[in-house]
Amino acid sequence: MGFERKMHDVSSMNLKCAQCSKEIKELPFQPDGSRPVYCQDCNRARTAGSSRGGGFNRGGGGRGYGGR
């Protein structure tokens, strides 16, 4: 059971990948112009090289740690 995102046709917006300048025809979201967009290949490379965790407890806070 895979998760399928609705793809938005953005071919009329003349979007280019922020990394390789390849034309982007579809995106899994509607871009608002406030952030760069990447083609599927560049986005895959960016996320594969990312060290992002699950979003929780990524350091700081210190609650329950440090021997206090």
Residues 6+ apart with CB under 8 A from 6: 28
pLDDT value at 3 more than 90: no
Kind of pairing between the strands at 15-16 and 8-9: unpaired
Q: What is the C-alpha to C-alpha distance for residues 38 and 7, in angstroms, rounded to an integer?
A: 14
Mean pLDDT, the chain, whole residue set: 82
Is the pLDDT at 62 greater than 80? The verdict is: no
Enter the pTM of the model: 0.63
The domains of the chain are located at 8-45
Residues in the chain: 68
Tokens of 15: 């979007």
